[in-house]
Amino acid sequence: MKRTFLLSAALVASTGLMAAGQTVTAVKTAYNGADIRKMTREAHTVDQYTALTQYYAARQRMFEQKAAEEMHLWAQRAEMVTPLSEKWPRPVDSARNLHDYYEYKAAQAAGLAAKYDKLADAAAR
């Protein structure tokens, strides 16, 4: 009975905070560049290495998704037939360049995720 009351009171309180325009966050889900640099310098435990691994794995997925979107746009723009006197860079070139950039960033994030995963494994031993 007391437990149910406390749960319902917590739910009402959190709903009231969200209605007032405030958000309740228990875990930090986004990091900025300074946070990542600091975490990289100070990482020595399995939990810290795991957090970095998860961050870079999420970035890899994000860049792979963006690359797939640009690949679709690249294919659409490649089908367009235009005169030879069009200006450079053509829209198809921009889509290809963005695709290549996102693929590069995804590979870079994958390498860093693998690096911190190895370090987490080594720290666990």
Alpha helix segments (H runs only) across 79-90: none
* Per-residue pLDDT at 28: 53
Mean pLDDT of the 101-119 span: 97
Map out the domains of the chain as residue ranges: 32-124
| Tens digits of residue pLDDT in 22-77 | 443 334 568 999 999 999 999 999 999 999 999 999 999 999 999 999 999 999 98
Max Cα distance, the chain (Å): 78
CA distances from 124 to 39, 113, 121 (A): 18, 16, 5
Residue of 96 and 25 predicted with greater confidence: 96
| pTM for the whole structure | 0.70
Length of the chain: 125
